[in-house]
Structure formats: structure tokens, C-alpha cells
Structure 1
């Protein structure tokens, strides 16, 4: 069936308010632009709708991840020859919040990243960008070894009682669930590597140890969370949308993982 009329920034903002987005919200958004249907003005209009919904006292937050800035020894899709690894480590340009584009997190995130006034955290692999009243607070002090933990924008959003909005995507894209992984007792850890900017602007390959992420059960976890009735489900444009308290989500996920994830021997 043809949709009656194009969606607009105003109509999408109304849909967001009907879903439960309120003025002053800290709103962490994961999105698929295609899922929204035709929008007059495209991605820019969608960002304007999100900003209108949270208002001048609210804050819009998006992931601006750069997973290609990682150790090539772990690449699988596709792998690269081992002989290339030293070259990649030595010559990958350092992550620069102002210059490095996001990858695989959707066009809306990239539009927010370059929006006037946007602030971006300084993690070389899992940065976030924010616009609005709490932007600076959310992106500050993103530690290298706290990629998605307490001292990351996810932890900041939790402390600010933020909300998570999934637009046309599932819980497998819900990065807030990773915060629950950091909150487990002795979570599995792994070595990471990336090209990191030095104080003089030069690049240096660094390695560090952080919590190992695992999205394999996020779909099941998210479905169990939604059964509690704590997520509002509706339509924004043509998109199936889910809105939830990030704090309620993370608290539920922390307990769920402790009960359902099987620990490896010696973990």
C-alpha cells in the first residue's frame, strides 16, 4: 500500500512524542534510515525531528563507531594476510574525532557526527557523538579500557537516566546492553589494539585489555526485557520503534546475564 503522504520532520517529531520521547530527554538512538520510509528532507529532517522531540534541554546521542581501527589479527569479515598485519598497524591513521567517519552504524549517526555543535568522544573504536545540553558531559573522559563501561558515554547516559530508542533495528544493535557486560563479576577480557592519536597529533599503535563483547544473546535478552512491559513499542514514520529507559534496560540485562550466561572454566 502506498503511504498517504511523505513523512516530514514535524510528523516524525509528533510520532516520537506519541511514543514517549519527552522534552529534556537524553536519547540514545540506534537507527535504520531505510525503515522510516520516504522522508521529505532525508536524514537531515530525521535529525531535526529528534532534536525537536527532546527540545533545547535534551540531548541526542548516537554511536559513531570505527571498528576498522582494530587489530587485523582478529579480522574475519574478511580476514587479511598475516603479512599485512605489521603494515596496517604501522600505517593506519590515528582516530581523530573531527575527521574519522563512523562505519556501519547508519547514515543518521554520521549526520549527527558532523552536525554543528556536535561533540564526540575520543575512543578509537567505539566513540559516540552527542548534541544538546549534556553533550560535553556525555562524551568526556571516554577511557581506552572502558570502551562500553561505566566511564564511557553509555555510563554517562545511565547516570543521566537516559532513554534508548531503536528505530527499525533490533536489540542486536542496542549498545547499552554492553554496559551490563561490564557490570558482570569478573567478565571475560581480551586484548585490543588501535591506532591512537598522540598529543602532537601523530599516530601510535597501542594495545590494551578490556572486556570482551558478545552480542550473541542480545536478541533473546531484549525479547525477555520487552515481556516485562518496560518498552514502549509503536511506529515512527514507517519504522517499528522501541523506546525504553536505559537504566531499566541495563539493570535488567545485568541480572539476566548473571543468571543466563555460562562462564567458561576458570573465568
Structure 2
């Protein structure tokens, strides 16, 4: 479900144009109340179901928030197309959504590690970095305000 976007945008593993309509006709519809999170794990899926949580309408990259700022409107939007469920029927629809650009997240992490001590520990075969989430989020917000146009 994590790639529920129009095949014309190229998200379906470079599907051939002759197959686009077949994909549109058969791709499962997104329903933000029913469609499980994709590739995020059990914690994200549980959080999505917490009473009072707010999930975005984005069929392929939805986000979920809780608390007084959960409905904070985004500043940048774009138009995308996806299969969605309306009145129990599956339809392809154009919709406005938050513009999400995660291309610089790796750079944000690198700059954060230059600015702060970030200890790493091994858990099994994985290297895990330990940091305070609020500190990281505050750093990322300032970084984006400074480095994004």
C-alpha cells in the first residue's frame, strides 16, 4: 500500500505505459482509517490507532500526529493522484497534499552529529545512535529554515 500513487509518476518500479491503466483499475484503495501503515513497524501502526491521533490523507506517505499541533497546516502543497475509497467505492482522484521532501534528511543527520555528541551502541548487528528526540527535532527545524528555499 505504500506506493499508492498514479503509475504515471513512476512509483511502480518503472511500469510500462501499456500497464498504467491495469494498475489504476486494480490497485487497492486507500482509506486512512483502515489502511495499515507500510514499512514502519508495529509501533507506528499502534500509534496510528491511538484515540485522538490524526492521520494525513496521503495514500502513499501518510503521517500520523497526536496532540495540540496534530492538525498544523503545511506551508507547501502539491497535487498527486491515487486510488482512494469514497462512499465504499474505489476511485482514482487528484488531491492536494503536503509536499514532502526527505532528500536532505541524511545531510541533516550528518550535520546534527557534527554539532552534538551522538553515542552509538550495537544491538545485535545494528548500530544504534542514541539522542534526545526533542533536541534532534529542534535542530532539524532550524536546519530546514536555514537551508531550504
With the length of structure 1 as denominator, give the TM-score of the two structures.
Answer: 0.44
Residue pairs, 1:1-267, within 5 angstroms = 66-75=1-10, 78-95=13-30, 102=38, 105=39, 109=41, 112=42, 128-130=44-46, 136-137=50-51, 140-144=53-57, 152-153=63-64, 155-156=65-66, 186-187=75-76, 189-200=77-88, 202-229=89-116, 231-261=118-148, 263=149
Unaligned runs of 5+ in 1: 1-65, 113-117, 119-127, 160-181
Distance 1:158 1:260, change over 3 A: farther
Write out per-residue CA displacement over residues 165-215 of structure 1, whole angstroms, 9 at most, x where no aligned residue: xxxxxxxxxxxxxxxxx86xx43x322222222343x32222212233223
Alpha-carbon shift at residue 93 of structure 1 (Å): 1.8
Q: How many residues align?
A: 145
With the length of structure 2 as denominator, give the TM-score of the two structures.
Answer: 0.71
Residue 158 of structure 1 contacts residue 247 of structure 1 at CA under 8 Å; is this kept in 2? Answer: no
Q: Which has the higher contact order (CA 8 A, sep 6+)?
A: 1
Alpha-carbon shift at residue 72 of structure 1 (Å): 0.6
Across the aligned residues of Structure 1 and Structure 2, the Cα RMSD in angstroms comes to 3.6
- Helix, strand or coil for the counterpart of 1:130? helix
